[in-house]
Structure 1
Amino acid sequence: MKQHSLPTGTADAVPPVPPVRRPTTIARARARTRPRRWPLVAVRVLALLFTAGVLAQAALAGQFVTGDVNLLEVHGALGTALILLPMLALPAALALWWFGRGPLWCVAIPVALLALVGMQIGVGFSRNLAWHIPLGTGLLGMSVGHLVWAFGYRRHLTDDAPSTDSPSALLVPAAPEEASR
């Protein structure tokens, strides 16, 4: 029996197979579980609440500028309370990454919001409006961007079986072999 070998350098040559990389312990632990929906819901709710709070802050600041000085206390109290939402959004983003198999970079958003809100509170109480107003505008833009991402994000399921926790799973019929089980 004669073996045929391919000449080297031709288009018919088979490319070398890359070495198989074993997943890390974290990747293996994440791969064993199905993606969960609740972290995404938590991220969406917190993003919505934070954006609504930042919009309320802008409205209160506008009312203060037009002459209602009593709203300055409400503006300060709401701004101080608003720091709690990025604090809650950080574990929610970590849960989205771990349990919901979301992207790791989404954890950076609550960290950045937490730092910016802290700076905003500091420059607000020091009455430094040259920094307070542009920083508030940036916070509004970042919170709206986070909100748009949170509601536009669709997690990709890695399992072959359809997920039962999404509405689209109800629309897709099961395969015949799965229906008989």
Structure 2
Amino acid sequence: MKIIAFGASNSSTSINKALATYTANLVEGAEVKVLDINDFKVPMFSEDLEKEIGKSEGAQAFLREIGEADALVISFAEHNGHYTAAYKNLFDWASRIERAVYQDKPAVYLGTSPGPSGAQSVLAAAQGSASFFGGNVKATVSVPNFYDVFNVEEGVVSNDAVNAELKQAVTALML
């Protein structure tokens, strides 16, 4: 099984990328490829620019990566209750090329934050709109208080209850 994992954030120290990477690697025997959305260069979306340049190469490359996967693990960063501007921009370009951005791949949606909300607002938005964009969400997990449950130096979840929840979520990818 090939799993594409990424954090929907352009932060070089993204806690969502760390969580997605850790979670995807819980699937025994899986080949995990971790994407960095910074690698998919896209200008700020506008219909005028789309008419001028056509399909953004960065968005096309992003869609190709998703197309090569058997499953997805995405952790959504939350900025003021919504998607990060960087991810929303990449997503907008990609959706203009292929409305079913997630290509019906089985997916686990995650969200985390340093505080008690665990990115629940953006996670709910992502789950709520998934069916419009080829999302096949098998499980969602919100992880509040990231730094209390994740050992950043070792790159592992240090909380047994959170670990159990993440393991249960990724088993849904195999169903």
Judge same fold: TM > 0.5, yes or no: no
Greater per-residue helix proportion = 1
Q: Which has the larger radius of gyration?
A: 1
With the length of structure 1 as denominator, give the TM-score of the two structures.
0.27
More strand by share: 2
